[in-house]
Amino acid sequence: MLSPAPQSKTDAFIAFKDVHKAFDGPPVLDGLSLEIKRGDTTVILGPSGAGKSVMLKLMIGLLQPDRGEIHLEGNRVDEWPEQDWGTLRSRIGFLFQHGALFDSMSVLENVAFPLREHTELDATERRNRVHEMLALLGVDELIDRLPAELSGGQQKRVALARAVVLRPECMLYDEPTTGLDPIRSDVVAKLIHMLRRELQPTSVVVTHDIPLAFKVADRIMLLRDGRVHLAGAPNVFKESDDPIVRSFLDGNATADDLQPMPGAAS
């Protein structure tokens, strides 16, 4: 079980130290080192194959690094056995890229699922908590519907309600605007801001959505070749004349981008 640890000098909630990961091919992460500051919203940018989603899975123990260290709240967790992750995962909300709602469960049952797994609340208390989260996200009237009866934007909100129903200390967002039009993407940005105001979590947002990144980020990191290429406040990226940064932010392919891609995870 995770025990309280003193804050590090950098006040990092999450820290990677020289983390390597490969899947029977070129390395996905190749000496990745980074720190996610407590209470900040950190946006992770990078091209396909840069290792962004792999990084998220390492943060919650769904994958183990080949070598290197991962620290959460000062505790080294990369060598933890699976049975030790339960308490920690209950403190981390994860919004999957496509929502990952259970098709056969109602909205109530989907959002209540973490409460059944991690709390001793009875059915009435669980329903009240679900109502509270759905109301916060503006979809309380959908509580008895099935996922197939929801629009893409509604599914995203319900999935977000499930991710935050335990009031997590940390939120991980994996491509939260995938499949959404620009207006719905802006809604997601506003929801991330609202949840930060209401719950004050440490947040990590993996995205290709450049407008979203600049709307929500306290700090941005650009991954390239399995490492951090540039990290800093949003204005650092806006003012950068680094050709790799400018190419990614402006959406202009370089000659290197036109070369065949090695097999790698996103």
Q: What is the pLDDT of residues 160-219, one digit of tens each?
A: 899 889 899 999 999 888 877 888 888 889 889 988 988 889 999 999 899 999 999 999
Q: Per the CATH hierarchy, to which homologous superfamily does domain 1-91+170-254 belong?
A: P-loop containing nucleotide triphosphate hydrolases (3.40.50.300)
Tell me where in the chain the CATH 3.40.50.300 domain(s) lie: 1-91+170-254
Distance, C-alpha 177 to centroid of its chain: 12
DSSP 8-state code for residue 4: -
Backbone angles phi, psi at 148, to 5 degrees: -65, -20
The encoded tokens of residue 201 equal: 């979590």
Highest mean pLDDT among 76-80, 94-98, 116-120, 142-146: 142-146
Query: pTM value?
Result: 0.84
Buried residues in 201-238 as b, exposed as e (16+ CB within 10 A) = bbbbbbbbbbebbbbbbebbbbbbbbbbbbbeebeebe
Work out whether the CA dihedral 231, 235, 236, 237 comes out positive or negative: positive
> Is 127 within 8 Å of 112 (Cβ atoms)?
yes
